[in-house]
Chain A
Amino acid sequence: MSGPVSDTMPTDESIVLQMVVGLLYPFMLLFGFYVILNGHYTPGGGFQGGSVLASLFVARYVVYPVDDTDTETLHSIQRVFLALIVIAPSAVLFTGVIARNPEFRSLYLTTMDVLIGVQVGFGLGVAVLRFAFFQGVGKTWHL
């Protein structure tokens, strides 16, 4: 597994850690979205799936602690989703869509789970990254 390693890569990281996180990363992503999308009839939901998504930021930070994530943009996206979380239930409640068409209930719950999941995922991820890189002088430092 000797691929080309870019020179921005911290070379003193454990190769085992890099391999394991690299292998698990897509499955963590998949699990996060599974938990979010099936939240309304299996265990899980928006918050749980969102925290799994936030752990992706942590996993990336553990193997590649470089402050190149645009936390400002992520924070803005998170605030948009927070607004949508307030707007969507109000709209559904006041328009009475669900009351008239009960077959939309599942779609509504899934939408809410996705909104909450993205909001929690980005929120926790931004919180962790901001904390980890706070007052960071050097570009790379390790735990």
Chain B
Amino acid sequence: MVEIGTILMMGVFAALAIHSKVLRLSIVYLAVFSLLGAFLYLLYAAPELAIAEAVIGSGLVTLLYLAALKRSRVYTVAVVGTGDRDRLADAYISHVERAKALREIRDFFVLREFELQVVFVPVSLDQAVLDPAYDLVVVEDDEGFSAYTEDESYVMLELEMMLRMRGEASMLRFGRYVAEGSE
């Protein structure tokens, strides 16, 4: 009876780990799955395997997964051009790549150990900000570079705080995007 129950619970937690939308929760479910597996080993009179499974399965492996998850997030920065400039020309791309503003963003994400990819998109600012594929939208106008985001997560808050604290020294203005017509 206990045996059947444990096996069923293992199945439930395995399914939860696969179907969970949040990866961090999946890792916790996997740890519970592992712990139930250790209990099952104990039921089948293999206490040595139970010890190893409990320590490695729900201890070491959970930590490894969490550490891997920590740096799995990829942030996408979209660069949109303004006005009549050819936004996808090589000259423009290298001009933006050399800009201090983009280097500041890169340094921030390197420091926080997140992956960063920069894409150049031929859409307008409004479209790019509203697109969930882009976490941060950088636009160049007459006064220099500006960054816009709808993202409320702590990473973007930290980026905003860093840029604000550096004030004039930072070559990048940070703005919360407000859709036109609201306010």
- B16 proximal to A (CB < 8 A): no
- On chain B, the residues within 8 Å of A132 by CB distance are 63-64, 67
- On chain A, the residues within 8 Å of B70 by CB distance are 141, 143
- B101 proximal to A (CB < 8 A): no
Which residue among A45, A124, A143 has the maximum number of chain B CB atoms within 10 Å of its CB? A143
Q: 6 A-B pairs, CB-CB below 8 angstroms?
A: A51-B55, A124-B56, A128-B60, A128-B63, A135-B71, A141-B70
One of A53-61, A75-83, A99-107 at the interface: A53-61
- A131 proximal to B (CB < 8 A): yes
Chain B: interface size category? 20 to 34
Chain A: interface size category? 20 to 34
- B14 proximal to A (CB < 8 A): no
- On chain B, the residues within 8 Å of A54 by CB distance are 55, 60
A-B pairs with beta carbons under 8 A, tally: 57
Residue from the list B48, B50, B55 in contact with A55, Cβ < 8 A: B55
Interface of chain B, main secondary structure = helix
- A44 proximal to B (CB < 8 A): yes
Beta-carbon contact of A48 and B48 below 8 Å: yes
Given A137-B110, A138-B111, A143-B70, A58 and B60 contact (CB-CB distance below 8 Å): yes
- On chain A, the residues within 8 Å of B11 by CB distance are none
- B97 proximal to A (CB < 8 A): no
- B175 proximal to A (CB < 8 A): no
Chain B 43-56 near chain A by CB (<8 Å), digits 1 or 0:
00001101110011
